[in-house]
Structure 1
Amino acid sequence: MMNKHFFAIFLGLAYSSLFVVGFIVNSAALWAFIAQRASWTDTHIYMFNLVIADSAFILFLPLRAYDAFFCLPKTTFCTFLLYIHFINMYASIMTTTAISVHRYLVIRFPLQARSWRKKKEAAFAVCLVIWILLVTVCVMFRKENYPDKLWTCYERCKDRPLKPLVMGIMVSLGFTTPLVVIVFCSSQIICILSKVDNISEEKKSIVDMVTANMVVFIVCYTPINVGFLVNYFNVLPLNWQFEQIPEHIYLRIAEWIAATNCCFDSISYYFLLKQFYS
């Protein structure tokens, strides 16, 4: 069994490295988007919202690393950190879903997309609704992560699982539905563009970007949601050493894998900004 002190150091270093890389990547993306704000399209608005979600997530990663090394005390500040963590993670998921739907509609119905005059306003409204929805859900279920339900600052007690409604929202609405939408939209986009004769370099870039985004989404967010379900249904006896069981280790690693998405989103930024600066 993995030594818990070694595993804590490993997690601390992993989150520290992720913070450094994520901070550099997202700072560069944020600067690039702001620099070309006069030429923003509806796609830029969605992408900027993704940058904001990822950047806010990254800013709190040093505390996650510190907790791995030294263990933060269980206070209401931990509740705040947990909700910041999940709000920004699900903001990223929902924004990625909105971007996938937007790309599909533009490619599937190009004439109608060109005639729509309020695309920027619609994009801004979608992003605003995403944030309002997530904050509302967190306020409604704020007691679910109060200090008395926490085992450590970032972890719940094993014998105090989330309510079925909360788990259902997280796994079905927070992951499964976005996954189905993203896979459908991405597959349709790839299929439509692949059938085009003499496909241009721009369209090849779109296919590459869509494929990469879909793969990254599946790889980053599938493990943690599997971990949520396993952790929820497999309640072990209280006399087990919770911090040393494989299930616990898997969930901690899966959370880090999900966090790496804040760096992989740069794939979308690269393709979009490349078109602008080329």
Structure 2
Amino acid sequence: MTNCSTKEVDTLMQKLDLIIYVPVLVFGLALNSAALVVFCQLLRKWTESSIYMTNLALMDLLLLLQLPFKMHAIRHEWAEDKKLFCSFLESLYFVAMYGSIYTIVCIAIDRYIAINHPFRAKQVRSKKNALIVCIFIWVFVMVATSPIYTFRDWGRKGENFNCFHGFSKKGWSTAIIVCLEVFGFLLPAAVLVACSIQSIRTLKASKNSHHNRQAGVRIIYSSLAAFLVPFTPCHVAIFLQYLVRNEFILDCKQQKNIALFIQVSINIANVTCCLDALCYYFIAKEVRSTKDTLRLSISRARTTSTSDV
């Protein structure tokens, strides 16, 4: 890699990180803690949607718990005996990020099945299945992110280091980045967009009230925005940084711009902890809208099958 210093970017980010992290931490903890109280204590009974939303709130809280350590690591080097703890925190950060991504996708799939396949929904959708899916997400992302423990370049023995910064070249290998981009973002994004488009079409064509149709469509659009706005820049930046680390981009100015872009975009990705609150706010409306559409779809399907006899 060319000798191109990014100290200017690091100095700028020391200030910008705190400006972003403090509000995200305060509002994120408040909103997600309130969501857990609502889902676990105030709702009369669990539903598939509330189980997925509880899982999403837990993922968001896990990501938020990393922020105080990241804020400390911005300005301070850590001692050598904190290496394992640092890798543990970095691993949990990616567990939370990609766990959130897969949970949001599962919410979209669950919504798609309920709206577009009402008969199959009664067979497939259940609280037990939703819980199993959530457990699988936790296991999957923990296993998938475990190689992070080997991605660190710790430097010489006895030296202090910067946590959350400075993955070794092994962490930027083509195989790792392809898997991250495809399975961590592109595939989930494609499933989310496809399910959302089909659900919107069905809602608009349903005989439900105009108000309920519009509410359901707004909920889906807000879910799409809560996914695409934070995570798209982040994964574009990861790909660009891959090009830098593998010496496809050699211009120093471009390298500095990419270094700034990846740090800013990761900060934007952290904002998803607050954007998910849109989903929490609309969860009761979504459940009611989905149930109304489900009943209408079943009724319409029964009427059609009866007229065919």
**Do these two structures clear the TM 0.5 threshold for a shared fold by scoring above it?**
yes
Among candidates 179, 182, 199, match of residue 169 of structure 1: 179
1:195-210 to structure 2, matched below 5 A, reads 195-197=205-207, 199-210=209-220
Residues 255 and 72 of structure 1: is their aligned pair in 2 closer, same or farther, counting only changes over 3 Å?
farther
The separation in 1 between residues aligned to 2:167 and 2:131, in whole angstroms, is 38
Q: Higher mean Cα deviation, 132-141 or 92-101? A: 132-141
The separation in 2 between residues aligned to 1:101 and 1:255, in whole angstroms, is 26
Residues 227 and 117 of structure 1: is their aligned pair in 2 closer, same or farther, counting only changes over 3 Å?
closer
1:235-254 to structure 2, matched below 5 A, reads 235=245, 245-254=256-265
Per-residue CA deviation, residues 135-187 of structure 1 (Å, 9 max, x unaligned), is 11223553124645997311224755423232122110010000000111111
Shift of 1:272: 1.0
Show the counterpart of 1:106: 114
Among candidates 278, 296, 300, match of residue 267 of structure 1: 278
Percent identity, aligned pairs only?
Answer: 26
The normalised TM-score by structure 1 is 0.88
Unaligned segments of structure 1, at least 5 residues: none
Show the counterpart of 1:85: 93
Q: Higher mean Cα deviation, 188-197 or 158-167? A: 158-167
The separation in 2 between residues aligned to 1:15 and 1:6, in whole angstroms, is 14
The separation in 2 between residues aligned to 1:143 and 1:159, in whole angstroms, is 11
Shift of 1:275: 6.7
Show the counterpart of 1:135: 142
Alignment size in residue pairs: 274
Among candidates 35, 58, 63, match of residue 69 of structure 2: 63
1:169-248 to structure 2, matched below 5 A, reads 169-197=179-207, 199-235=209-245, 245-248=256-259
SS of corresponding position for 1:265: helix
Unaligned segments of structure 2, at least 5 residues: 1-5, 289-309
SS of corresponding position for 1:234: helix
Q: Is the 8 A contact 1:12 1:64 kept in 2?
A: no
Show the counterpart of 2:49: 43
SS of corresponding position for 2:128: helix
Among candidates 263, 269, 272, match of residue 258 of structure 1: 269
Per-residue CA deviation, residues 45-72 of structure 1 (Å, 9 max, x unaligned), is 1111001100111122111122223344
Q: Does 1:31 align with 2:42?
A: no
Show the counterpart of 2:58: 52
The normalised TM-score by structure 2 is 0.80
One-letter amino acid matched to 2:29: F
Q: CA RMSD in A?
A: 2.9
SS of corresponding position for 1:97: helix
Q: Higher mean Cα deviation, 175-184 or 4-13? A: 4-13
Per-residue CA deviation, residues 16-54 of structure 1 (Å, 9 max, x unaligned), is 221011111111111111113541111111111001100
Show the counterpart of 2:302: none
Q: Higher mean Cα deviation, 45-54 or 116-125? A: 116-125
Q: Higher mean Cα deviation, 87-96 or 50-59? A: 50-59
The separation in 2 between residues aligned to 1:247 and 1:152, in whole angstroms, is 19
Shift of 1:4: 4.0
Show the counterpart of 1:10: 16
Show the counterpart of 2:133: 126
One-letter amino acid matched to 1:66: H
Residues 190 and 263 of structure 1: is their aligned pair in 2 closer, same or farther, counting only changes over 3 Å?
same
